[in-house]
């Protein structure tokens, strides 16, 4: 008996070219979305690490002030505003590159340095896609030790009223203003 030719051929079990293209497009789309999400979380982790370092510097400042008060060196506390705050830490933060006198030294992204001219601790973000440009047009975050002086209306208070570490210019990273 005679059988048609198409009935004797085995059916192809693989993907057609169209099906393969669709699968590759879906995988590429999922990979892109996953990569974007990963970068978002990496940047959020970098911001958290930077804020943690600033919190450690604030704690070190409080400990330094307390130690100076205990030693009777209260009159010298204001000098801390001109000092490099990294010197108060047991070890420098990861990525610390040292002291510079240049206004914007060429340091790798993700680095800290102390601007000895301005007396500021500076962080150069690695991932800054969600960090708005600052007033100076850059994205270097600068922090300074501030001394709260007594008001002129209070002549009896000759000493400072407090110290803090704060951003020189408020910044917005992930749509939340800091400073």
Residue-wise pLDDT tens digits, 116-158: 999 999 999 999 999 998 888 889 999 999 987 766 665 555 5
Q: Looking at the whole model, is its pTM more than 0.85? A: no
Cβ contact 95:109 at 8 Å: no
The chain-wide mean pLDDT, for the chain, equals 87
> Per the structure block, which two tokens stand in for 43?
């940047």
Percent of the chain surpassing pLDDT 90: 64
CA dihedral for 161, 166, 171, 174, sign (positive or negative): negative
- What CA–CA distance (Å, rounded) separates 152 from 87? 32
Cβ contact 65:80 at 8 Å: yes
Of 82, 75, 78, 134, give the one whose Cα is nearest residue 104: 134
Outline where DSSP puts E strands in the chain: 96-100, 111-115, 120-124, 141-148, 162-167, 171-172, 177-178
- Cβ-proximal residues to 68 (8 Å cutoff; 6+ apart), any chain: 74, 76, 77, 80
> Per the structure block, which two tokens stand in for 10?
């085995």
3-state helix, strand, coil in the chain (%, to 5): 40, 20, 40
pLDDT (average), residues 153-179: 74
Cβ contact 140:131 at 8 Å: no
Whether pLDDT at 11 is above 70: no
Whether pLDDT at 176 is above 60: yes
pLDDT given at position 75: 86
């Amino acid at each position: 008996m005679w059988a048609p030719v198409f009935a004797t051929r085995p059916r192809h079990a693989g993907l057609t070219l169209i099906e393969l293209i669709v699968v590759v497009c879906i995988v590429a789309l999922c990979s892109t979305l996953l990569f974007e999400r990963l970068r978002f979380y990496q940047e959020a982790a970098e911001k958290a690490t930077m804020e943690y370092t600033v919190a450690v510097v604030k704690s070190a400042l409080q400990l330094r002030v307390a130690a100076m008060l205990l030693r009777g060196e209260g009159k010298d506390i204001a000098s801390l505003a001109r000092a490099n705050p990294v010197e108060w830490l047991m070890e420098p933060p990861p990525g610390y590159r040292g002291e510079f006198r240049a206004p914007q030294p060429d340091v790798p992204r993700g680095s800290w340095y102390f601007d000895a001219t301005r007396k500021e601790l500076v962080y150069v973000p690695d991932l800054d896609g969600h960090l708005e440009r600052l007033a100076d047009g850059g994205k270097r975050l600068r922090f300074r030790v501030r001394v709260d002086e007594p008001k002129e209306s209070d002549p009896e208070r000759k000493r400072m009223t407090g110290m803090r570490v704060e951003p020189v210019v408020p910044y917005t990273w992930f749509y939340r203003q800091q400073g």
